[in-house]
Structure 1
Amino acid sequence: MRITRKTLLSIPAPAAADEPSGPDVPDHPAYQQFLAVFADAATPLRGRDLCRALDLPIVPKNTEDIRSS
């Protein structure tokens, strides 16, 4: 999760018009929620922590899905 957080936070701001643009960042609401949770986290997060932060039930299916993402 630390590596994922570091990667997500290192996504650069949109480039100026004369520069070629980098990879597109998804604008799906769930992606934005993930970014917000990682940005607010003071410590590394586990799958259970992310489920709690996103108000998902803490069941094996959810934690495994988040862990594999």
Structure 2
Amino acid sequence: MNKELRLKIIQVCESKIDNKGENVGLSFYAFFKNKNDNPELLMEVAKWWILDNKLDHFEKALKIKEMVKFK
């Protein structure tokens, strides 16, 4: 996962946490627009989420932020 994508994921997680609190959950779709304009990147994140880390559909934003931050 490239640095730009990591920063975007961290920003989205921080925004969700700020708006809804530390227990807010999200899916990997939260990092993309409703229009699928970059399917390769979507698949990269889906692979990281589902295959590499065996995460559930919804996970705590705080957990995802910490996972991405230290890789």
- TM-score w.r.t. the length of structure 1 is 0.29
Structure with the larger strand share: 2
Indicate the structure (1 or 2) with the bigger Cα radius of gyration: 1
Specify which structure has the bigger relative contact order, considering alpha-carbon pairs within 8 angstroms and separated by 6 or more residues: 2
